[in-house]
Structure 1
Amino acid sequence: MLRSGVHGDGLTFPFVAKACAKLRCVREGRKLHAQSLLMGFQGNPFVQTSLMDMYSKCYYLSDARQLFDEMPSRSLVAWNCMISAYGQDFQINKSFELLNELRALGLRPTSSTCVSLVSGCAGSVAAIMHGLSVHCYGVKVGFHSDLRFSNSILSMYAWFGHVDYACSLFDSMEEKSIVTWTAMAGGFVRVGDSMKVFDLFNQMRSAYVNPDSAAFINLIYAGILTGKPLIACAIHSVLINSGFDQKVDIAPLLVTLYSKCGELMSAQEVFDSMRDKDVFLWTSMISGYVQGGLSSEALVLFDQLLSSNIKPNKVTIVTVLSACADSGSLNFGEKIEDYVMENGLQSDLRVQTALIYMYCRCGKIERAKDIFDGAYAKDITMWSTMIKGYACHGKGREALALFEEMQREETIKPDAILFIEVLLACSHSGLVEEGLQCFISMQKDYGVEPNIEHYLCMVDLLARAGYFSYALRFINNMPIQARNQVLAPLLSACRTHHDNQFGELVSEQLFKLKPWNTGNYVLMSNVYASLGKWKEVIGLRNLINRRGLIKQPGWSRIELNS
């Protein structure tokens, strides 16, 4: 149009600005902004507001605010647009500052203003109070009959898991759209109430409301929560009848649904049935194999992905590195690191953490430490992964030194999971005093209450070192529900220290609590074998056979010729 000599008018620029916003193409947006200034549209509020919206949609909030401040006259649409921009960036305080300025000028907020305010309330838990005030204001001025306003409030309550508030609003609404039904179902998914999602879906169809992709996505997530194959099949059937089974945003979730329900063959059938496979579908199928313990199949599928015209994303890389770690496939893992370097993914935090985990599991702890040291920004997951790597390799001193280094930085507060890794390191290296100090510091200095995993680590630490009386005293001070789960590591330690009397005492308790657990019989049998009491060993083995128990075989993996 420009080449033909036509420069456009006040209606042309907003359309092009909207195109730039949808494409997140700020470079072309800046050209458009310059062209609008050359054409003298800097005083046109319609053009200026569309440019402001473009900058905010492209995540250039400072440019949007500068344009807003420079506008000679601002319409209510411009105020709403800027408030919405802060809301999309979850800067709820900035949104309310603008609201107060707007009201100080004598302008009255509209329902659109309130919707823009509520959009920013999903950013933090503290923002719920702001959302409640917007709801109260909306009811006071009569916005409760506005469907868009009610949907935004309902979505906010659902997001925070306040399903009682959401249900109350949902039941009071005279008019409901597909957005209303979907938001309510999303709230039930968030709190893990799958049956309510199914009931709501049936009610929606009874009300002759046609489900959209978002409604089916909630239905699939509800199915994942149940983990039941029959429900997965029923959901798949509904999708086929509705013509949604081949949708690109539905198929990956359907694969995940079957995978979570243990139906990998059905997941593979869904995967194979898709003519156009995107990276999300490939990643879902690879992840399904990894979660199902079929890491080798996951690696084969990743090879097929590399041979296709689809490029793996960061999530794919992280998933397949997990498969390498689980299968001990160091050679394949090194090839993936080469791919990461070639494609410029080496600075991504999740990819770095996955590489550290893979190298730790595959025995190359030095290479894992090199990646760890080279990471520019470390989160608590990366610290935990590296500390766990040292723990599993029996490098307790190195793990503790790393933990102390993290504490010195004071940017990350240790959580319950990280303390498990530190206690594990102490246990595997026999650092009893350090482990006890860590257990005390965890509660006293960081306010982390111990769970069953922490207790298991402590009992294992004391028992491995031969402090059985202290371990028993520790167990007696534990919550009752946790005591039964710490006896197995105690029995295992009896074998190491050849403590027959204590082993028999612990095994009697275990046999009473879990008479069908074959592992406990095997543990006690090993205690007897270490003492040369072969008659007792044979007696225990015969007892396993008489009770019809089956010992699960052990498995080890090695990598030969890649």
Structure 2
Amino acid sequence: MRFVSRRHGLDRARQSTDKSKSLHTAAAVLQVDQAKGAVEEEKEEQGDQDASTLDRIQHWRRPRNIPIWAIHCCKAMSANAETDHPHEIRAAFDRSKPRTLVTWNTLLTIYSQSSDLSRATQVFDAMPGRSSASWKELFLRYAQFGHINPSKELFDRMPGRDLVVWTSFLNLFARHGELNHSKELLFRMPQHDRVSWTTMLRGYAQCGQMLNAKQMFDSMEERSFFSWTDMVSGYARMEEFDNAKSLFDQMPSHDLITCTAIIPAIANYGKIGDIKFFYDSVPEKDLVLSTALVGAFVQIGNLVEARGVFETMATRNLVSWTTVVSGYAQYGFIDEAERMFSRMPEWNLVSWTAMIDGLMENGGLGPAKLLFDRMPQRNIVAYTALVTGFIRNAQLDLAKELFDRTPQWDLVIWASIAASYAQHGHVDHAMAIHQQMPARDVIVWNLLVAMLGQAGRMEDALKIQHQMPKWNVFTWNAILSGYAINGDIHSAQRSFDSIPEEIVNCQCWTSLMHAYARNGRVIEARAVLAAMPTRDLAAWNLMMETYAQTGRYKEAIHLFHEATLDGGVRIDLVSFITILSACSHLGKIQIARDQFVSMIADYGIVPIRDHYSCVVDALARSGRLCDAESLLETMPFVPESSAWASLLSACRVYRDKDRGARAAAQAMEVNPQASASYLLFSHC
């Protein structure tokens, strides 16, 4: 990094620092930054001498205003930062007397860039004097990690604020959906550039407020590639594909970067044909574009197409390999993920972590732990994957042991661990983690409210809500969801009516519908769906499931077809599980078969075990026992005992004793505790 700064300048060095994962590079940048003034003085002394001569000097003169002991101190702290020894870093700082602004800033930067914001804040508060770099370093780090309140406090106190600080603060509010604050801040800014306008536009687009985003876009005097891309991606995310394609066609030029950015947006909309058509229309293709296509197919769950594109790629990089491995692991194809992982020419943290997470998700605690121990380096994501995996598999002692010896945590990871405890029924553990958090922002508060609501502790959830400094739409949704889960219709309706009209979104309506559905109030739930200004897939799926769970299978099938016609909603694997189950109970084997084929061919969805089980049940109920048994034996998963039990039950109805014996034996092999299989077999 120091070599880069000397040969190519400080800006290039800073770019290298941004890409580096090592902590000591930050200290080196500070030293170079402080030395920059002295170098400029040297150039002035040289008069007309060619600046390139100075660039070739291998050893810079020590800056006149920085004592040699201060630079030695910075180097000592940097060396300890590289080996991740916080106590030695502080010891090196404490040994330096007297201390200068350089040593203080070096210590502050090392802590902040290692995500240790608690220590960084302590250093900042203890500094006898601060430079603009001190203020900016701590502020930008708080903003990066989404800490709104500390960032706001620092912003208000900061003596000098440049455009970078203003834009970072604007981006912080926009990322968290605080668009009113973002807009107010935008108009307070002393000056604007394309970045600030694009940041505001991106906030609107990410929150689905495409009308406001389009107004902002139209008012921009200068549009960057990013502003065009944000608009197209926003339209695609809201499933306004015609608008997305129209705007894409209006772009001044299309390069590989633009096309690569748009492919995931098209995939989010939907179908294999759309993705292939767009990819084929790009005149020149490179590795990045092909990798984006692989990622798009993984995104919609079509691993067959993803693998096909991957195998035809002339060259592959670490990203393309990792995308395929992550896809297989994400969808539960662990054996194939392991085969691809072993074929990789090299591994990075993402590929290691994807395998660990996939193994833990599928109950492979032992192999996941062995893989974790083999990792040459571990980051916070790998630790989180293992801890949450232990929680998911009820290994709370192992989870706590690993959590306690993890080197560093940031606020996002704290929240993830707490959420994992809560999702698996360990609310008290989640509360304890929440209390230990070094800081809390609105996201963390909302997470706690949601955790308590889902656990049925609505009284505690309401207490926490009233302790919050402010509420947003996610707070209201957490309360609504809690009432819905607990079946409290009246409180849910009262809470819904209290939400400010300007922030009511589709999730609020869906939570209200859920409250009615949980209490069997199907007519009222359907009325809520009809009254929604816009409907997303979650709303359609919830209503379909409600019909299916109450035995109204014809209504579920009718609603499925209605959903496919409503603004091009992209049906997902949950929708197909519901429709296949409904077909099974109605004995509509041909419709079930057609939908199963359509799911693969038209929607590019890779069937999971539940889809196969629904088809097996449909075949068995209609008396096609041979076909049902054949599918159970050839499906790409180990069938669950319930699938074999479906066949066994049908064998009892159709008096097929031999096949029933085989089904009973298979059910007992998968689940030896399934004594009901023997009971069913005894009545064949």
Aligned to 1:475: 629
Q: Which residue of 2 aligns with 1:378?
A: 535
For normalisation by structure 2, the TM-score amounts to 0.49
Q: Does 1:506 align with 2:660?
A: yes
1:359 has 2:526 as partner: no
Aligned pair count? Answer: 421
| One-letter identity of the residue aligned with 2:387 | G
Amino acid at match of 2:431: Q
Report the counterpart of residue 400 of structure 1 in structure 2. 557
Q: Which residue does the alignment assign to 1:270?
A: 433
Give the Cα–Cα distance (whole angstroms) in 1 for the partners of residues 261 and 620 of structure 2. Answer: 54
1:522 aligns with one of 676, 681, 684: 676
CA distance change for structure 1 residues 157 and 97 in 2, over 3 Å: closer, same or farther? farther
Shift of 1:305: 2.3
Structure 2 matches for 1:9-24, cutoff 5 A? 14=163, 18=167, 21-22=170-171
For 1:416 and 1:134, the matched residues in 2 are separated by 25
Of structures 1 and 2, the one scoring higher in RCO (CA 8 A, sep 6+) is 2
Unaligned runs of 5+ in 2: 1-159, 175-181, 202-212, 234-246, 268-278, 292-316, 327-339, 358-367
Match of 2:496? Answer: 340
Give runs of aligned pairs for residues 19-418 of structure 1, distance below 5 A. 21-22=170-171, 25-27=182-184, 29-30=186-187, 50-59=192-201, 68-69=221-222, 82-86=224-228, 132=288, 185-186=349-350, 188-190=352-354, 192=356, 203=377, 215-217=379-381, 219-225=383-389, 227=392, 229=396, 232-239=399-406, 242=408, 244=409, 248-259=411-422, 264-274=427-437, 277-285=440-448, 295-297=455-457, 299-309=458-468, 314-315=473-474, 329-331=486-488, 333-344=489-500, 347-409=504-566, 411-418=568-575
What's the secondary structure of 1:381's corresponding residue?
Answer: helix
Give, in whole Å, the separation in 2 of the partners of 1:317 and 1:490: 45
CA displacement at 1:492 relative to structure 2: 4.2
Query: Counterpart of 1:558?
Result: none
Asked if the contact 1:96–1:117 (Cα under 8 Å) also holds between the matched residues in 2, the reply is: no
Q: Distance in 2 between matches of 1:310 and 1:270?
A: 20
Counterpart Cα distance in 2 of 1:405 and 1:115: 37
Question: Is contact 1:330–1:362 with CA below 8 Å preserved after alignment?
Answer: yes
Deviation at 1:342, TM superposition (A): 0.8
Offset of 1:419 from its aligned partner?
A: 2.4
| Structure 1: runs of 5+ lacking an equivalent | 1-10, 34-46, 70-80, 101-113, 136-153, 172-183, 205-214, 532-562
Contact 2:576 2:595 in 1 (8 A): no
Deviation, structure 1 residue 85:
4.3
Instruction: Report if the CA contact (8 A) 1:189-1:221 is conserved.
Output: yes
1:528 & 1:427 partners in 2: Cα distance?
Answer: 25
How many Å separate the matches in 2 of 1:169 and 1:451? Answer: 30
> Using the alignment, how far apart are the partners of 2:465 and 2:290 within structure 1?
50
Q: Partner letter of residue 301 of structure 1?
A: D
Look up the match of 1:456: 613
> What secondary structure does 2:383 align onto?
helix
CA distance in 2, matches of 1:488, 1:371: 37
- Note the alpha carbon deviations across 1:84-136, whole angstroms, 9 max, x for none: 54466677979995698xxxxxxxxxxxxx9999998986776996783899x
Alpha-carbon distance in 2 for matches of 1:295, 1:262: 7
Q: CA offset at residue 384 of structure 1?
A: 2.1
Kindly provide the amino acid, as one letter, of the partner of residue 590 in structure 2: L
Is the contact made by 2:446 and 2:475 (CA closer than 8 Å) also made in structure 1? yes
* CA distance in 2 between partners of 1:313 and 1:12 (Å): 28
Q: In structure 1, the residue corresponding to 2:523 is in which secondary structure?
A: helix
Question: What are the Cα deviations for residues 139-163 of structure 1, in whole angstroms up to 9, with x where unaligned?
Answer: xxxxxxxxxxxxxxx9977995689
> In the alignment, residue 351 of structure 1 is paired with which amino acid?
C
Deviation track 1:424-469 (CA, whole Å, cap 9, x = no partner) reads 22334xx22x3422422441586266554234334434555xx44x
2-structure distance, mates of 1:271, 1:32: 35
Displacement after TM superposition at 1:383 (Å): 1.9
Shift of 1:224: 2.5
Secondary structure at the counterpart of residue 296 of structure 1: coil
CA distance in 1 between partners of 2:541 and 2:221 (Å): 45
- Measure the CA separation in 2 of the matches of 1:168 and 1:359: 50
